[in-house]
Chains A and B, each alone.
Chain A
Amino acid sequence: MSLDVRGEIIKLARELALEPGDLDFLEGAERDDVHRLRVAIEDALDGRNRGIYRRIEASSRLLPPAIAVRIARASFPPLIVGRVSEEIPADRSPKFLEHMPMSYMGELLVHMNPRRMVATIQAMPATQMAPMIKELEKRGEYVTMGRFLGVLADAQIPKVLAVIDDGRTLLLAGFHTEDPARLDNVVLALSDTQVAAIREAVAAHGLERELGTILDALSPELRERLESNGAG
């Protein structure tokens, strides 16, 4: 669940192929209500085709990964390829990644639901994840970063965060995390340099509200870590 109703609206708009502005009327609702609605819609739409997504992935095993990727890119929109990719087991995903341009991978990541691929994500080495994180950062995809951040294994968090220097990216990825209970681990994994970068970003970009929301979700000692660096 996002910390803020806007994050839920952005995710719901993506699922429905709408612009977030089309769902502005939901701004007046409670975050928990919009979260429940968004998850139910994602599950209902996904349930219509999950069987065929599984069979598309199964049939792709008959083809060399390079050809499977080429056919997928030419035949299906990124949302469908992303959903089929959720079915690729952890041991096969590196073979596909070798043949996927990172810019295209970025398009897929936006449409993938990390809740459905926890085992695959948690089996992924940081070296494989780093270029994806950088691609999402380049695209300003903080909502997607937050979704993935929410399902990382504890041991992965420091390694993944290590590739992000930009304070604004760190703050907004945390702000959009799918699982605010993980924020303690995120803040614990930050270097002093990253904490300072977050503080600078808050001042430079007027992100006091986002920081305040994160601070509210932290345990007291970790809240102090961000605040003692002058943030808040």
Chain B
Amino acid sequence: MSDIERIAAVTGLGADELAFLDALDANGVKALADRLEAVGPERDREVDVGIEGALKMIPRLLRAPVRKILFAGTR
């Protein structure tokens, strides 16, 4: 998969909307594609770690109802 295809896969943009990247520095485009693939999972982890930490700080009595709301659906 080319770097532009990797960027398209994350952003949902079409090939025509990303065609401008062809004219730019290839190393820069590759670094952008790498970063795009990494940043989503990084942010998911920050949310998960944050929730774990927050739950520990919430008064015990409220933990169950808070958990019920937090885990009521997918991300």
Contacts and interface: CB of A to CB of B under 8 A. Distances in A.
Interface residues of B, number: 42
B25 to A, nearest CB: 4
B1 interface: no
Question: What is the predominant secondary structure among interface residues of chain A facing chain B?
Answer: helix
Q: Contact size class for A?
A: 35 or more
B62 A23 contact: no
B44 A49 contact: yes
Contacts, number: 110
A47 to B, nearest CB: 9
Contacts of B62: 62-63
Contacts of B47: 49, 52, 76, 80
24 contacts: A18-B35, A22-B35, A25-B25, A25-B28, A26-B24, A28-B24, A33-B17, A33-B20, A41-B11, A44-B12, A45-B39, A45-B40, A48-B43, A48-B44, A51-B73, A56-B54, A56-B70, A59-B65, A59-B70, A62-B62, A71-B57, A74-B54, A75-B53, A80-B47
